[in-house]
Amino acid sequence: MLTYILRRSITMAWTLLAISVLIFAIINLPDGNYLTNQIRELMVTGEEASIAKAKFLLQQYSLDKPLVEQYAIWLGVWPGPNGFSGILQGDFGYSFELDRPVSDIVTESMWFTIGLNLVVVLFVYMTALPLGALAAVRANTWIDYLTSLIGYLGLATPNFLLALVLMYYGNKAVGLPIGGGMAKEFLDEPMSFAKFGSIMLHMIAPVIVIGTAGMAGMTRRLRANLMDELSKPYVTTAEAKGVSPTRTVVKYPLRMALNPFIADIGNLLPQLVSGSVLVSVVMSLPTIGPILLSALRSQDIFLSGFILLFVSALTLVGMLISDLLLAVVDPRIRLAGKSGNQR
Amino acid sequence: MSSTDPDHHFVAQDDYDENADIQMLDRADLDAPTWLLIWRRFLRHKLGVASGIYLLVIYLALPFIDFLTPYHYTTRDIEHIYAPPQPVRFVHENYVGLHTYPTEEFFDLETFQVKSKVDWTTPVPIPILSNCGKSYHLLGLFETNFRLICPPEGYTLYLLGTDRLGRDVHSRIMHGAQLSLTVGLIGVTVSFAIGLFLGGAAGYFGGWIDSMVMRAIEIIRSMPELPIWLALSAAIPANWGPVAVFFVISIILGLLDWPGLARAVRSKFLSLREEDYVKAAELMGARPRRIITAHMMPNFMSHLVASATLSIPAMILGETALSFLGLGLRPPAVSWGLMLNDALDLTVVEIYPWLLMPLVPVIMVVLAFSFLGDGLRDALDPYS
């Protein structure tokens, strides 16, 4: 098991490394960055002091060096003007637009993003499991059709529409709060029970919006897997022996069908993170989504680069957890590693 | 006629098969070519067939959009800003025929909103197949202003209301279909090409090429789509024209989509390589290129088409999301996502709900593609 964890972690680490190269390339695709744009603007007005400051910053963050060197300094494997200080050392760079270090800006929203996605994953699993199982057991009845209808609508409706509609009607019908991460009076308060309650209340609508599409796909796949299992002879045997219907389904077929269900988190997580970025913009949630959008617009490369790396890392860590869970649930997987034959 | 029988009865020369009668019915199926079997099975999937017809009709209508819409998509009417949908009726007392009623916009001084009043007493017939409005190039050939329906002379025809600049929402939705629907096709072509090439190379040659491609697939699949799409489209220079932006956006949408296809191609290649006919072709000295194109491709192409159909909806939704966030297509182009950009805040849902109309075609088209893809996928195993 330990070797399995180790092997998966190493794979994850170097996948992340490859992703960081891609991301650095992507954020440097546009010509110039926030600073060079600013310098160009200042040239027109001719403010010597500001130009000097911008140029100093440019040098300080080694944006005048060739791209490969910039990348190495950004990552922290090459000494910059201030020695080794990159992502690996915990220095995420500086946001030139907001004039603050990146870590200052993103810390709080990072936690909110992680929390939000965690709650959404829980929501997806907790709804998809009973719905999918029900749909499979009661195949071709109204409950099956209802779940597939919800599924299709969940897949076809753009997230942001669902966000708008749910915000509007949720507020009108049951008084759900409109947008934001918590009530205004809690904004700068330390964490308390009331604040936690307020955050949870504000999360209801976004969680439903982000989770619906994922839940739909999950339900359909669980239904298909469980249907396959239910038609196998051992289920008939159990029925013939007089095992109660619930036990017949839950004891073995559901456990078998659960395997792909857990593995599916690899598909689910990137989708959820994508969804949370979009929905956060519409519902003005304090996640990194809106920050990313504005950083991309103003070519604030350190900020956008770090956020992109962070969301990728988030999905990778999620996948790692799902792999480990799968190994816990299914001995075949963790034993496969020992004998040396990979899947 | 055989006459070996001493009693001069007719005796057929074939061996007697007691199941012949029963098999007669199946024979037709067994002898039918595969495509016919697939087609028959697909026809049984009613929802899929209906979706296919629906999509075919709207795609065929795309080149004739100017003819089908009452207004040009840039036509602005400052007299009717935020006009609500206009009523259209068939029967008015003793007048029968397609007609509408004159509406008037006024500013409500109590609520400070633009409101409209319908004059229900005088029906105005809607001219059908006549000349009106801005002229356009039909199929790029000749200039005309001949349209299917026109606003009545001196009146307006806003079937789905107008937006904040007084442009007809109905006409704009139909024009937006041109970009919103082709984005998916171009994106799928890109992802199809990459997926086929890389997946095929990985599956056919195996070895280090295979492991390289598989690593690349793993990396791309673990990146969240939307943030990367956003980053890539933010990189498009601001001074590019709408057409260039459109093409680049469709390519961007396709760039992240290929891993699924490549994986499917690879696994198909791996299983087909073991088939006897591929071995036979190899032994006869056929080149890899010929084996792939002549012997292997026909066997999995249909599966690929089905899975490509299923990935178009994601691209249409992707374009909508990008344009909605303001990083996708740029005005003066019209697309459903761009139109929804106006509906970013709650005021719109509350006061001008008709601006959300572009969502109806988005949902319909996405559903249609999903049903069509499901139908095709189910039909592809005619022997099961």
pLDDT for residue A184? 62
Find chain A residues with C-beta within 8 A of B320's C-beta: 158
Q: Which residues make beta-bridge pairs with B114?
A: B107
Tokens of B130: 């006549």
pLDDT for residue A181? 64
**Do the Cβ atoms of B49 and B373 come closer than 8 Å?**
no
ipTM above 0.85, yes or no: no
The partner residue sitting opposite B231, judged by closest CB among A168, A273, A296, is A296
Query: Is the pLDDT reported for residue B53 higher than 90?
Result: yes
Q: Which B residues 73-92 touch A at CB under 8 Å?
A: none
Q: How confident is the model at residue B50 (pLDDT cuts 50, 70, 90)?
A: very high
The partner residue sitting opposite B225, judged by closest CB among A160, A167, A274, is A274
Q: From B235, which residue of chain A is nearest by alpha-carbon distance?
A: A30
pLDDT for residue B57? 93
C-alpha angle B145-B149-B150 in degrees, rounded to nearest 5: 65
Q: How confident is the model at residue B176 (pLDDT cuts 50, 70, 90)?
A: confident
Does B324 contact chain A (CB < 8 Å)?
yes
Query: Is the pLDDT reported for residue B1 higher than 50?
Result: no
Instruction: Please write the tens of the pLDDT for every residue from A14-38.
Output: 888 888 888 888 888 877 777 777 7
Alpha helices of chain B — where are they, by DSSP H? Answer: 20-31, 34-44, 46-61, 65-68, 169-205, 207-221, 225-234, 242-255, 258-273, 276-283, 288-290, 297-324, 336-341, 346-351, 359-379
Q: Which residues make beta-bridge pairs with B100?
A: B88, B124
Nearest chain A Cα distance for residue B360, angstroms? 9
Does B231 sit within 8 Å of A304, measured CB to CB?
Answer: yes
Which of A11, A160, A292 would best serve as a mutation to test chain B binding (most B beta carbons within 10 A)?
A160
Neighbours of B351 (CB within 10 A): 13
Does B218 contact chain A (CB < 8 Å)?
yes
Neighbours of B301 (CB within 10 A): 12
Instruction: Please write the tens of the pLDDT for every residue from A61-92.
Output: 777 777 788 888 887 777 777 777 777 777 77
Nearest chain B Cα distance for residue A274, angstroms? 5
Which residue would you say has higher pLDDT here, B264 or B112? B264
Distances from the Cα of A133 to the Cα of A23, A226, A262, B141, angstroms: 40, 7, 14, 58
For the CA atoms of chain B, what is the radius of gyration?
Answer: 29
Closest by CA to A254, choosing from A275, A230, A272, A236, is A230
The partner residue sitting opposite A273, judged by closest CB among B224, B317, B362, is B224
Q: What is the 3-state secondary structure (H, E, C) of A114-181?
A: HHHHHHHHHHHHHHHHHHHHHHHHCCCCHHHHHHHHHHHHHHHCCHHHHHHHHHHHHHHHHCCCCCCC
Find chain A residues with C-beta within 8 A of B340's C-beta: 158, 160-161
Does B232 contact chain A (CB < 8 Å)?
yes
Tokens of B265: 């191609």
Query: Is the pLDDT reported for residue B383 higher than 60?
Result: no
Does A319 sit within 8 Å of B349, measured CB to CB?
Answer: no
Nearest chain A Cα distance for residue B105, angstroms? 26
Does B25 contact chain A (CB < 8 Å)?
no
Name the one residue in this structure whose structure tokens are 């008939």. Answer: A236
Q: How far is residue B369's CA from residue B366's CA, in Å, rounded to a whole number?
A: 5
Which domains, ranges and CATH numbers included, belong to chain B? Answer: 86-157 (no CATH), 171-380 (1.10.3720.10)
Does A164 sit within 8 Å of B223, measured CB to CB?
Answer: no
**Do the Cβ atoms of B237 and B174 come closer than 8 Å?**
no
Going by C-beta distance under 8 Å and a sequence separation of 6 or more, which residues neighbour residue A300?
A: A33, A34, A95, A96, A97, A98, A294
Instruction: Please write the tens of the pLDDT for every residue from B243-267.
Output: 888 888 888 888 888 888 888 888 8
Does A307 sit within 8 Å of B370, measured CB to CB?
Answer: no
Which domains, ranges and CATH numbers included, belong to chain A? Answer: 17-91 (no CATH), 106-334 (1.10.3720.10)
Q: Which A residues 180-209 touch B at CB under 8 Å?
A: none
Give how far the C-alpha of residue B22 lies from the chain's centroid of Cα atoms, to the nearest Å. 43
Query: Is the pLDDT reported for residue B119 higher than 80?
Result: no
Query: Is the pLDDT reported for residue B118 higher than 60?
Result: yes
Lowest mean pLDDT among A2-16, A298-312, B130-144, B179-193: B130-144
Per-residue pLDDT of chain A (343 residues; tens, 9 = 90+): 788 888 888 888 888 888 888 888 888 887 777 777 777 777 777 777 777 777 777 777 777 777 788 888 887 777 777 777 777 777 777 777 777 888 888 887 888 888 888 888 889 888 888 888 888 888 778 888 888 888 777 777 887 777 877 777 777 777 666 666 666 666 666 666 777 777 777 788 888 888 887 888 888 888 888 888 888 888 888 889 988 888 888 888 888 888 777 777 777 888 888 888 888 888 778 888 888 888 888 888 888 888 888 888 888 888 888 888 878 877 776 666 544 444 3
Does A30 contact chain B (CB < 8 Å)?
yes
The partner residue sitting opposite B227, judged by closest CB among A159, A167, A308, is A308
Return mean pLDDT, chain B. Answer: 81
| Number of alpha carbons in the 13 Å side-chain half-sphere of residue A249 | 15
The partner residue sitting opposite B231, judged by closest CB among A27, A31, A273, is A27
Q: Which B residues 347-376 touch A at CB under 8 Å?
A: 349-350, 356, 359, 362-363, 366-367, 370
